[in-house]
Amino acid sequence: MSKRVSVAEAKQGFTKLLREAQQGQEEVIVTRRGTPFMVILPYEQFERLERWQAYLEMVRISEELEGVAVSAAELQAASRRELEERV
């Protein structure tokens, strides 16, 4: 369950919000004029979101490359050559 606070409330009790987010392992949604504006969440949740984002990007790329007749080894070799040329 997430908690919602206004920007003014967040400014006033920032340390308390950080503690609550960390201890409760839940996000705090900061609103501006009633509209969600920012989220405070535990770092572990942030890392998990980053991993999901990377996974979804890999799925998207693999779907794009599905019809292309290029193997992963060929793609890696081409990437390596390109990186070596930059140096």
pLDDT at 8 exceeding the cut of 90: yes
Residues 49, 81 share a domain: yes
Domain that holds residue 23: 3-41
Q: Which two tokens mark 64?
A: 């794009």
Residues 37, 60 share a domain: no
Domains in the chain, number: 2
- At residue 10, the pLDDT reads 93
Q: What is the pTM of this model?
A: 0.61
Residues 75, 51 share a domain: yes
The tens digit of pLDDT for each residue in 15-61 reads 998 988 888 777 899 999 999 999 999 888 899 999 999 988 888 88
Q: Which two tokens mark 55?
A: 């996974």
Q: In what order do the strands lie in the sheet with 28-32?
A: 3-6, 28-32, 35-40
- At residue 32, the pLDDT reads 95
- At residue 53, the pLDDT reads 92
Residues 51, 81 share a domain: yes
Could you give the angle at the alpha carbon of 42 between the alpha carbons of 36 and 44, nearest 5°?
125
Residues 27, 11 share a domain: yes
